[in-house]
Amino acid sequence: MLSRFAKKWWLAPLVATILVAALLAAAQFIGMSSRSYLPEQQAATVRGPGEAYQSLRQAGLHGRIVVILDKQTDIVPRLYDREFMASLAASGTSAPFQPLNLASGLIETGIARTVYFVPPPSLRAAISQRLGSRWDAKTEPSGFSVRFNGAPVHVVLGDLNPSDFGEKVVVYANRDVLTDYDASLLTSLESTAVSDVLVIQDTP
């Protein structure tokens, strides 16, 4: 059979091109069909990141863009700290192995595929300085991006245009710092056209 095929070697590029196209289409299909959205916008008030994580998990979300409006500056875990590596060795093999913060927990469990962290304007300079010295931080027009376990974490230090997402996003915001942001940004993120999940952290 192979020798019969060998006589038609000129078909090889065609067959291989079809194979490549099929593989790429399959990958794209797997990616798109792995995303889950809510039919209607839901809003929830939580007392902390742990409760927010549980709330998003129970909603059955997967493969989403998550926008975080908060003041925490360790949004990207420092993966290579020795203590952290030692904790990995001791933690066994069940995911999530180390819920360092909300972003890493959401990425590890597959709820978030991409995170946009938007710090309040008052913290931008400090965060910019910290990320500017990171060896793996990539400079972007609106700030920096780093990857955690392969997932992009964009740290937005400039303007965020919600219409650029191209899909509905999950918004997590800390009420303590909301007054620091531009009101038009909050209004657009609350829009049902932009987000299908709104989680507000309300410190008790």
Partner 1 sequence: MSHATPTSTRMSPADRGASATLPPMFTLTWWMPFAVFVPAYLLRLFSVELVRGPVEDMYMHVQNAFYYPATGLMGPDNWWTSPAKHFALRVAIALFGNDIVGWRLMSVILGALSVVVAALVARRLFRSVFPALATAALLALDPLGIAFSRTTFEDTTAVFVLLVAVLLWLRAMEEGRALDWVLCGVALGVATAFRTYAVIPLAIMLVATSVSKRRDDIARLALALTSLTLVAFCAYFVWWLPWFSRGYSLEEWLTLQSDALAVQGANFAGFNPALRRLVDPQGWLFSWVSLALHRSVAGREVVTMVTSDPFVWALFLPGVAYLLFRAINGRRVEWLFVGLSFLALYGFFALSPRPILLYSALVIVPFGCLALSFAADSLPGRWKWGLLSIATLWGLYLYPLAAGIAVPLQPYAWLLGRVASIGLGS
**Contacting residues toward partner 1, per CB under 8 A:** 2, 5-6, 8-10, 12-13, 16-17, 19-20, 23-24, 26-28, 30-32, 34-35, 62-64, 79-80, 85, 88-89, 93, 95, 97, 108, 110, 113-114, 133-136, 138, 147-152
Q: Which is nearer to partner 1, 28 or 45 (CB)?
A: 28
Q: CA-to-CA distance for 146 and 140, rounded, in angstroms? A: 10
Q: CA-to-CA distance for 139 and 128, rounded, in angstroms? A: 10
Q: Which is nearer to partner 1, 36 or 191 (CB)?
A: 36
Min dist. Cβ of residue 82 to partner 1 (A): 9
Answer for the pair 200, 158: CB distance below 8 angstroms, yes or no.
no
CA-based nearest residue to 174, from 41, 45, 42, 43: 45
Min dist. Cβ of residue 199 to partner 1 (A): 19
Q: Which is nearer to partner 1, 106 or 177 (CB)?
A: 106
Min dist. Cβ of residue 143 to partner 1 (A): 15
User: What are the distances in angstroms from CA 44 to CA 40, 72, 161, 170?
Assistant: 13, 20, 23, 11
